[in-house]
Structure 1
Amino acid sequence: MRFSVFLNARTMTPDADRQLTVDLERHALLAGELGFDAIFLPDHHFNGYMAIASDSYMFASYLAAKLPAMHFGFSVTTVPLHHPVRFVERINILDHLTKGKLLVGVGSGTTPEEMIGFGVNYKDAGRIAEENLAAAEALWNKRMEDDAIELDGFHKGRVLQRIAPSPYGEKHARLMPVAMKDASITRAAVNGWPAFIPAFTPPQIGGLEPLTHVKKYFGKYHEQLLAAGHSSETVKDALSWTTHSYQCVHLAETDEQARKEVLEILTSYQEAVDRESAFNAKAESDDANKKTDRTGSALTEEWMATWCLYGSPATVIDKLRAYQQVGIGNILCGTVTGPLTEQRLAYADQTLRLLAQHVTPAFQ
């Protein structure tokens, strides 16, 4: 089982953005020193959720120069907000800079506030995502002698020659769909790509039985992956990166200490989410941008069961054994969840060290 670090911190005010960038770099370098498999970054805009994630590809390229052995991933790129040409170009560049160690999570997005900043209506996001992914595949496959590719959807363009640079390998970098919709499961399985395996089924976001959902979605993906006729090497690679994500991972020496500290972390996290609620309401002021699902408070047992992994090293190992038995290949650990204060960063570093010392060896 692989273990990866998810950089998902928040800032509450503009004057905190500079220190956030410094602290995230240091935390990522510590993850590299401790032997974690990958750094994953989100794709967010306007609201202080990972302020530097307004261009995660740029931050990843900077970190890649400092961590040449590290894989890099995105959890996840909001595809409707990216012009297909720029999407493909930037992936190819980062594919070269990481020497093929790139995993591009793809999804349609979850936040109307971010959508409207790019002129996208929330209700159209799924359609535009599919449109953009189809265009991206056409652009990746285009040879110089082929006819021009006409982009005539939400994003416009006419590509005469080819995308430069070309991909690092024979194929373009692996994409990682979220294995929730049938089309996304099929896209991952048919292409031999990994997938993100969710722990809930919309419209209910959260619950006390996350493993039930993980088994359901993993089973659908795994069945199609095996049926697609890939080589054993392709299947093995895809499963080794098939990912279950935790928004908040926190370890301490004892279960009691971990519970006390994770409640402190989640209290600050929920305060940040509540601060954004007025802006979310403005974004959803018309029918084209109404969300159909809601996430409950992070301080509920249902939220914590779905999104958190916490406890002593022994407790965390016990919890993860069940996911290993299902077949999950990669655990994505949100180690910096919430506003990244000095104390929060100390907790995050504590978690990295305890994971590296006790948990990851138990799964190798």
Structure 2
Amino acid sequence: MRFSVFLNARSMRPEDDRQLMHDLETHAILARDRGFSAIFMPDHHFNGYMPLASDSFIFAAYLAAKMPEIHFGFSVVSVPLHHPVRFVERINLLDQITDGKLLVGVGSGTTPEEMIGFGVNYKDAGTVSERNLELAEQLWAKGMEDPAIEIDNGPHQGRVLQRIAPAAYTPGHARLMPVAMKESSARRAATHGWPAFIPAFTPPNIGGTEPFIHVKKYFDAYRAMLDEAGHDAPTIASALDWTTHTYQAVHVAETDEQARDELMVILRSYQDAIEREAEFNARAESDDANRKTDRTPNALTDDWIGTWCLYGSPETVIEHLKPYQALGIGNILCGTVTGPLTEERLRLGNQTLDLLSRKVMPAFGGGRA
């Protein structure tokens, strides 16, 4: 089982943005040195979620030049916010830069605030996303002399006459990683032989004390579709190797008691940031076209912690993860810098990297492969 790092820290003030980017670069290099398999980044805008997330393609290219031996991923790209031409061009360029070590998580986005900044109504996000992915496949397949591709999808317009340059490094194109919560997304991943996020992000019901039930449900559905697609054994093995379960907050300490105490400090700061952002999300929901039907749950509740957190001593973390390995999850994505990134938060994140690499990862087959 692989372990990867999710750079999901927040900046609370403009004057903190630059230091945060430098700190996350240092944290990513430490993860590389400790044997983690990949660095994943989010794709978010406006809300202070993370300065580098406003264009994580650029930050990934910057890190890839420093760390050519590891994989890079996105968790996840909000597809409706990207013109399909730019989406395909950037993925192809990163696919070339990384020699194919690229994993592009795709989803329809999370907040109305982000959607309205790009001229997309929140209620249309799913439809725009599906059409953008269809257009992307057409653009990846287009040759120089093929008929023009007409783009008419909400705010995204255009007419492509030639081919996309550069060409992809990976045959066809880089691997996409759908979030396997909807049947259509799981089937997209399975049909193409791609890995998937299982389930990733907010499930229909917070898992609470039994989150494994949710993970197994979505994994089993995806795994059955993967078998039904008729792939050869190497394709299935490659897909499962990167099929990912995400923990928004991972914290490891020498004892369970220390880990819980430090986790609560981290989550209180994280919840403060969430509450600050709620005001702006409310402003975005000024009409029915941009009103969400679900609410971000409180991160200080036992249900949220049970669903989205992995914490404890190395021994406790190992026991927690054994059923996921047995299920067939190939990659554990660890949010090691969740919340506002202070000097103390970075220290705790580095502590987690150290203990995971020395005491947890060896129990699951070692580090990077």
TM-score of the two chains, using structure 1 as the length reference:
0.98
Deviation sequence 1:52-84 (CA, Å, 0-9, x none): 110000000000000000100000000000000
Residue 200 of structure 1: how far off its partner (Å)? 7.8
Provide the rounded CA distance (Å) in 1 between the counterparts of 2:123 and 2:201: 21
Provide the rounded CA distance (Å) in 1 between the counterparts of 2:221 and 2:116: 33
Residue 147 of structure 1: how far off its partner (Å)? 0.7
Provide the rounded CA distance (Å) in 2 between the counterparts of 1:322 and 1:191: 27
Provide the rounded CA distance (Å) in 2 between the counterparts of 1:277 and 1:169: 40
Residue 18 of structure 1: how far off its partner (Å)? 0.8
1:36 aligns with 2:69: no
Which runs of structure 2 are paired with 1:164-313 in the superposition (5 Å)?
Answer: 164-198=165-199, 202-313=203-314
Q: Which amino acid aligns with 2:237?
A: K
* Pair 199,135 (structure 1): closer, same or farther in 2 beyond 3 Å: closer
Which runs of structure 2 are paired with 1:1-364 in the superposition (5 Å)?
Answer: 1-154=1-154, 155-198=156-199, 202-364=203-365
Provide the rounded CA distance (Å) in 1 between the counterparts of 2:170 and 2:8: 29
**How many residues are aligned here?**
364
Q: Which amino acid aligns with 1:117?
A: G
Q: Which amino acid aligns with 1:53?
A: A
SS of corresponding position for 1:276? helix
Mapped contact 1:199–1:213 kept (Cα < 8 A) = no
Deviation sequence 1:93-145 (CA, Å, 0-9, x none): 00000000000000000111111111111000000000100000000000112
Provide the rounded CA distance (Å) in 2 between the counterparts of 1:72 and 1:134: 23
Q: Which amino acid aligns with 2:133?
A: L
Q: Which amino acid aligns with 1:352?
A: L
Q: Which amino acid aligns with 1:339?
A: P
* Pair 39,201 (structure 1): closer, same or farther in 2 beyond 3 Å: closer
Mapped contact 2:64–2:97 kept (Cα < 8 A) = yes
Provide the rounded CA distance (Å) in 2 between the counterparts of 1:338 and 1:92: 31
Deviating 4+ runs (over 2 angstroms) = 199-208
- Structure 2's unaligned 5+ residue stretches are none
Provide the rounded CA distance (Å) in 2 between the counterparts of 1:109 and 1:63: 24
Provide the rounded CA distance (Å) in 1 between the counterparts of 2:203 and 2:76: 18
Q: Give the % identical residues.
A: 70
Provide the rounded CA distance (Å) in 2 between the counterparts of 1:345 and 1:200: 23
Provide the rounded CA distance (Å) in 2 between the counterparts of 1:340 and 1:144: 47
Q: Which amino acid aligns with 2:229?
A: A
Q: Higher mean Cα deviation, 33-42 or 149-158?
A: 149-158
Deviation sequence 1:13-59 (CA, Å, 0-9, x none): 11110110110000000001111000000001011101111000000
Provide the rounded CA distance (Å) in 2 between the counterparts of 1:163 and 1:249: 39
- Structure 1's unaligned 5+ residue stretches are none
